[in-house]
Amino acid sequence: MAAARASQDDRVLRGTRALSAFIAPFLIVAFVVLYVFPADTERLFAWTIHPTMTPMVLASAYFGGFSFFVRALWEHRWTTLAPGFLSVGLFATLLGVATIIHWDRFNHQHFAFWLWVGLYFTAPFLVALAYLANRRHAAPARPDEARLGRGSRWAVGSVGAAALATGISMFLAPAVMIPIWPWMLTPLTCRVVGAIFCLGAAGVVTLTDPRWVTVRMMLQVEALMVALMLVAALRAPAEFATDRPLTWLMLIGFIGVLCGSAALWFRHEVRQRGVAT
């Protein structure tokens, strides 16, 4: 019994911190390249991406991932990181598969391409191993831990499920999604953007584990990514098809996600801190 309790200490293993330290620099470099210089992907990136909205959306996901992995270096509880590792593993796997499917679309002579291949052909396995190793130390929920209310739990879970469903649809059926998407996509970029939406899988975890400690970091990373995407939309307004309903639905949805995230943060952090003092 004592050994079982020791194994459920919810600690983050050193190997997981080492993996986080290894991945984070790649993400921040990719963010700078794609968000600051979105029109120069032919010269600076693994493949040429048009229009500029797509590289900026990918860059937003990279910055969210950078924030997540940097914070994993000092996070004490595996429960906080578990949803993120699950969604990152799915994201990396889909990008690896997309690379194989669209191999001819990449700039094979560019150093960035081989960095891309090295990362997405290894990261799915490394992230999965880290998740499985840490899972043995995951602690069960304590009765005194703060939890989302039923409405908040289903709202977060539903948004995550909707993002995941959108991502899967984009990855499996780009020919269906491209004509209705708010900006121009190719089959490759449709699958890449779909992989980004699949990061919403982290929100689905809330349906089975509604503890605030499980949601807290995920909510911050999500809000950061969405805010960067909205800024990207302001930088490239001419690239949007304003006659497509999904354009306005996505805008309203992203604003709603930010407002909902702020409301949850206020309820569980600001208000609770005020009660505690």
Give the residue extent of every domain in the chain.
9-276
Gap between the Cα atoms of 131 and 19, Å rounded: 11
pLDDT in tens, 148-159: 999 999 999 999
Average pLDDT, the chain: 93
| 168 and 46 Cβ atoms separated by less than 8 Å | no
pTM of the predicted model, to two decimals?
0.93
Q: Is the pLDDT of residue 271 over 70?
A: no
Say whether pLDDT at 272 is over 80: no
pLDDT of residue 3: 46
Residue 243 predicted with pLDDT over 60: yes
Nearest Cα to Cα of residue 102 among 51, 41, 33, 48? 48
Taking a C-beta distance cutoff of 8 angstroms, is the pair 95, 195 a contact? yes
Q: Evaluate if residue 5 carries a pLDDT over 60.
A: no
**Phi, psi (deg, nearest 5) at residue 4:** -65, -40
Q: How many Cα atoms sit within 13 Å of 121 on the Cβ side?
A: 9
Task: Give the long-range contacts of residues 96-101, CB within 8 A, separation 24 or more.
Answer: 96/120, 96/121, 96/123, 96/124, 98/171, 98/188, 98/191, 98/192, 98/195, 101/188, 101/191
